[in-house]
Structure 1
Amino acid sequence: MTLENYDPKRPIVEQPSSSEKSVPDAESGKVDSAVSQAEERLCDGRSLMAEENQNRSPGGFGELQDTDSDESRRAKEKLARRAEDATAENPLSAEGRSHSSDDQVSEESRIRTRRSFLVAGVAAGAGYGFYYWSQHARESEMQPEPLREAFDSNAALSRFLLRDRVLAPTYPLSRAEALRVNGVAGVKRPLIIESYRLQVVGSTRGLGDPAYSADVTGWEYLYSDAKAHEDPGRDTKIDPKLASAPRMAPAGALDQAMAREGRTEQRRPRRGLEEAGESRSTLGPGTSGLLLTLQDLQKLPRHELVTQFKCVEGWSQVVHWAGFRMMDFLELYPPVPGTRYVYMETPDGDYYTGYDLEVCRHPQTLLVTEMMGAPLTQLHGAPLRLHMPTKYGYKQIKRIGLIAYTRDKPDDYWTRLGYDWYAGL
């Protein structure tokens, strides 16, 4: 019913709309309540208009028509506002909006759930694909190539951030202790110290130097048959049950090889008898260089350090070291221009390591001749070993027989067995 057809004497009866007719019985009470409220408000408005007309028109209905325009308009506006309020308070409208909001949330949840499962499936497939690819990729030094490349990437990042110049912590002498023996590759037979020479290849000091030799590989190291009284320890980096363990040469393998081949000045004994085999960087016969004695090395300034030796197996010890800084050695016997790496190996070639030239110039890199205030023992690498507190222990070669400067990245014993070439801490 519109306000223009409003008759005060006519009873108001609201007809339910088509939407209201379809309301379930459970909601009928709410609808009746809302309709009743609207009817009461409309009746109140009708009574109000009748009272105002009587007060303002004592002369009858004719005068009411003359004064009806303003009052009637205001009454109609009040009724319209009350009707809108009643409609707004209708519980069906709020419940409808609530149902609509719940439906939207449910639909959004379904979309997000499907999307999450899709992303998880793709991620799981990609992870499995990467694992399968990495495990079936071509091997590089006993590691899948992707993992070997990851080693190299980590090394490059470490070089960029640290520049091989960060100093390792030092400790008071009271904390130092004797270093345990762990790994005897290259030092199994006692060396006669008087026969020791350090071969140096790739230095700018050549023909004019008193230590120059046209073939440093022809030098003969002498060994003693006496048994060492040291505990040889046990290298735990390799499980003895592994299939590779039987390939490790027994202590007398070099003696057997020398007996089979014979020893002459022109022919060296068989090299690389340990598990990793012979180094690809070992010197060929006829290589010229320097043959330095211990007296030559003692011309260098002596330095002491109390630093930590860290093994890749997870143990560490604080040790007192003494010897010569590698950076001083490089100044006295400088490498030729273009050198990027330093290669070292034991006199028998059974153990070998490679380094960046920069880490050899680190102020804490020592050519060690003493440990814990005494000369090195045989199983600790007498007469000369390396200490690098910025590297793991397997890079700290014992009994150095050769130092060669090179432009090419040199071979490394443990890298050939799957370990990291850089081995930085």
Structure 2
Amino acid sequence: MSDGREEREEQEERRKWEKEKKDRGDDLDRSWERDWERDGERERRDSRAAEVEALDAEVRAQSGQRTRRSFLVAAATAAGGYGFYRWIDRSPMNMRLQEPLRHMLRLNARVSRAVFDERGMAPTYPVARSMELRTNGNYGLKMDLVPESYRLQMVGVEGAKRLPQYVEDVTAWEYQYEMKKEAGPVEHDTKVRPKSATAGSVDATVKPDPNGDGGAGLGPMMTGGQASTMVGSGAKGKPQRISSELEAAMKKMNRRPRGQEEAGMSRSTLMPGTPGLLLQLDNITSLPHHELVTEFKCIEGWSQVVHWGGYRLADLIAKYPPERKPDGSLPKYVYMETPDGDYYCGFSLQVCMHPQSLLVTEMAGRPLAQWHGAPIRLHMPIKYGYKQIKRIGLIAYTDRRPDDYWTKLGYDWYAGL
């Protein structure tokens, strides 16, 4: 009995000893693991620190190189840009614009014509969205035109001699003018001096009014004087002149000189003795009447939706077609001018045939006012406003690209939207 008890006690002691040994081993294992983890973490930190230091050193080395390279590249770019600017600035002037910039305008026009071909239709709007067009520019409108004296000169018409409106010299017709009964609303007109300006005052923020009359038709230019024959005389570079033959012919004319605005006389104005047609207003208003509600867009950045009424330019051209050249082809261009020759525009024949090119006699459902270009002005919604000439006195077909008022002052001849 005692032997069995002792054996059991011995086994119990062994189990306790083995359990204590195992517990001690587990503690040792955990302690070793903790030590291993601490050592591993330390090694990883040291490794990362070494990698970061190596990367920092590499970045510092490359940064120094790239900073020097960037500085050199920036300096070379700035020098090249300044040199390019100086080259443009010192280039020969072509109608108040440096030749490289003028070349880019011509390139843009070719690209635009190639893409759109002046056939696109301008959007139209409901009449309810329309308003009367603001006044902006009174070139060629310094005095009121006596309506009974109005004639539309047409030159280059096929078979003109067979028509009853034919005359041997369209330039001999004398338009009658009178002092303005109403100056018209000029509160938005950026082209004339405000009415509130006092006499002799100079405001550098507004464009000069060459007549000094705010558009009232009272200035010294209305009473005669030597005609301006310089084209863009205020520009850098050698100014262009009209031909000596035309200049001599103009001096012989005992009437108000032509070209009394900033751009001077047009080189496309008619020589005295030019045969053609003198159309009365009835010859135009007998054409089919059309109305358009389209957007007038000014190069200055503003636009207005306007209700126009009038007659398609294409219908007038169909009634009085251009004379064909010996090879059977048509002339490429159409030239328009105000009766006094102060404002003028050139167009391609193609854009004049556009179905939305309108000879306007009405605006906002009312007859066209004098300050808007009565009796007839042009609306061409696929062109900027400076091409939409007011008070048209001449339409001439030509195969030579015509002069254009604002082109001579630095703007684009094409003026497409």
Q: Normalising to structure 2: TM-score of the pair? A: 0.72
Q: Which residue of the partner structure matches residue 227 of structure 1?
A: 181
CA contact (8 A) 1:327 1:365 kept: yes
Render the CA deviation track for 1:14-38: whole Å, top value 9, x for unaligned.
xxxxxxxxxxxxxxxxxxxxxxxxx
Deviation at 1:205, TM superposition (A): 3.0
Q: Which residue of the partner structure matches residue 200 of structure 1?
A: 154
- Structure-1 separation of matches of 2:154 and 2:209: 34
Q: Which residue of the partner structure matches residue 346 of structure 2?
A: 354
- Tell whether 2:286 aligns with 1:299: yes
Q: Tell me which of 160, 166, 170 is aligned to 2:124.
A: 170
Structure scoring higher RCO (CA < 8 A, sep ≥ 6) equals 2
Distance 1:106 1:273, change over 3 A: same
Q: Which residue of the partner structure matches residue 217 of structure 1?
A: 171
The equivalences for 1:379-394 within 5 A come to 379-394=371-386
Distance 1:96 1:384, change over 3 A: closer
Which moved further from structure 2: 238-247 or 202-211? Answer: 238-247
- Tell whether 2:244 aligns with 1:277: no
- Structure-2 separation of matches of 1:119 and 1:382: 60
Render the CA deviation track for 1:235-267: whole Å, top value 9, x for unaligned.
41588538983644652335411899xxxx974
CA contact (8 A) 2:222 2:256 kept: no
- Structure-2 separation of matches of 1:267 and 1:185: 22
Render the CA deviation track for 1:151-185: whole Å, top value 9, x for unaligned.
22222221111111111111101111111222111
Render the CA deviation track for 1:379-425: whole Å, top value 9, x for unaligned.
11111100011122111111000011111221111222222222222
CA contact (8 A) 2:168 2:276 kept: yes
- Tell whether 2:101 aligns with 1:138: no
- Structure-2 separation of matches of 1:226 and 1:99: 86
Q: Which residue of the partner structure matches residue 245 of structure 2?
A: none
Deviation at 1:97, TM superposition (A): 9.0
- Structure-1 separation of matches of 2:46 and 2:226: 106
Q: Which residue of the partner structure matches residue 315 of structure 1?
A: 302
Partner-residue secondary structure (3-state), 2:224 = helix
- Structure-2 separation of matches of 1:243 and 1:237: 8
- Tell whether 2:256 aligns with 1:289: no
Partner-residue secondary structure (3-state), 1:139 = coil
CA contact (8 A) 2:89 2:98 kept: yes
- Structure-2 separation of matches of 1:128 and 1:266: 50
The equivalences for 1:325-404 within 5 A come to 325-335=312-322, 336=324, 337-404=329-396
- Structure-1 separation of matches of 2:392 and 2:148: 15
Distance 1:193 1:231, change over 3 A: same
CA contact (8 A) 1:218 1:266 kept: no
Partner-residue secondary structure (3-state), 2:145 = coil
Distance 1:133 1:116, change over 3 A: same
Q: Which residue of the partner structure matches residue 223 of structure 2?
A: 256
Deviation at 1:268, TM superposition (A): 4.0
- Structure-2 separation of matches of 1:121 and 1:259: 53
Distance 1:178 1:238, change over 3 A: closer
Partner-residue secondary structure (3-state), 2:389 = coil
The equivalences for 1:79-118 within 5 A come to 107-118=61-72
CA contact (8 A) 2:169 2:273 kept: yes
CA contact (8 A) 1:232 1:379 kept: no
CA contact (8 A) 2:151 2:280 kept: yes
- Structure-1 separation of matches of 2:286 and 2:360: 14
For residue 304 of structure 2, what is the amino acid of its counterpart?
A: Q
Render the CA deviation track for 1:67-86: whole Å, top value 9, x for unaligned.
xxxxxxxxxxxxxxxxxxxx
Render the CA deviation track for 1:100-125: whole Å, top value 9, x for unaligned.
77766655544444433332222211
- Matched residues, number: 334
- Structure-2 separation of matches of 1:413 and 1:285: 21
Deviation at 1:367, TM superposition (A): 0.6
Distance 1:150 1:238, change over 3 A: farther
Q: Which residue of the partner structure matches residue 208 of structure 2?
A: 245
CA contact (8 A) 1:237 1:313 kept: no
CA contact (8 A) 2:129 2:305 kept: yes
CA contact (8 A) 2:211 2:221 kept: no
- Structure-2 separation of matches of 1:97 and 1:229: 83
Deviation at 1:363, TM superposition (A): 1.4
CA contact (8 A) 1:187 1:378 kept: yes
CA contact (8 A) 1:183 1:233 kept: no
Distance 1:233 1:339, change over 3 A: farther
Partner-residue secondary structure (3-state), 2:378 = strand
Q: Percent identity?
A: 54
For residue 364 of structure 2, what is the amino acid of its counterpart?
A: M
- Tell whether 2:403 aligns with 1:411: yes
Distance 1:100 1:362, change over 3 A: same
Unaligned runs of 5+ in 2: 1-42, 194-202, 228-251
For residue 245 of structure 1, what is the amino acid of its counterpart?
A: P
- Structure-1 separation of matches of 2:112 and 2:59: 50
Distance 1:403 1:97, change over 3 A: same
Partner-residue secondary structure (3-state), 1:207 = helix
- Tell whether 2:135 aligns with 1:181: yes
C-alpha RMSD of matched pairs (Å): 3.1
- Tell whether 2:387 aligns with 1:424: no
- Structure-2 separation of matches of 1:305 and 1:94: 76
For residue 363 of structure 2, what is the amino acid of its counterpart?
A: M
- Structure-1 separation of matches of 2:102 and 2:337: 23
Unaligned runs of 5+ in 1: 1-88
